[in-house]
Amino acid sequence: MEFDWIDCHFDLKKIPPREVEEAFEDPFSIRLLPETDSSDGEARYFALGKTLANRYLFSAFWTDGKNYRVIFCRDMTDDESSFYERKNAEWL
């Protein structure tokens, strides 16, 4: 998995690339395809994942299967982290 950090719309000092990568490598991460198509024809996905330091991150990204371009990343809201925990509890 290769990450491309061009065109990030978030502060890489507040959420370092290593933490974003950890959230993607989380074996319990949840990846979703949004219902609406992008106007430029490229699908953008959402990811919910947890870092090694137990930081919950929400990301919007694009991928071609090998390369990942994280467009936006932020801490999850309480509802999102509850959804993440609830979905993971269902799978165990």
Residue 90 inside a domain? The answer is no
Predicted confidence at residue 69, as pLDDT, reads 93
Structure confidence by residue, pLDDT tens digits, 3-49: 999 888 999 999 999 999 999 999 999 999 876 665 666 678 999 99
Is a pLDDT exceeding 60 seen at residue 53? yes
Predicted confidence at residue 63, as pLDDT, reads 87
Residue 66 inside a domain? The answer is yes
pTM of the model: 0.87
Residue 19 inside a domain? The answer is yes
Residue 80 inside a domain? The answer is no
Buried b (16+ CB within 10 A) or exposed e, 54-80: eebbbbbbbbeeeebbbeebbebeeeb
Residue 92 inside a domain? The answer is no
Residue 13 inside a domain? The answer is yes
Predicted confidence at residue 74, as pLDDT, reads 97
The whole domain housing 11 covers 2-35+43-74
Residue 23 inside a domain? The answer is yes
Residues facing residue 49 across a β-bridge: 57
Q: For the chain, what is the domain count?
A: 1
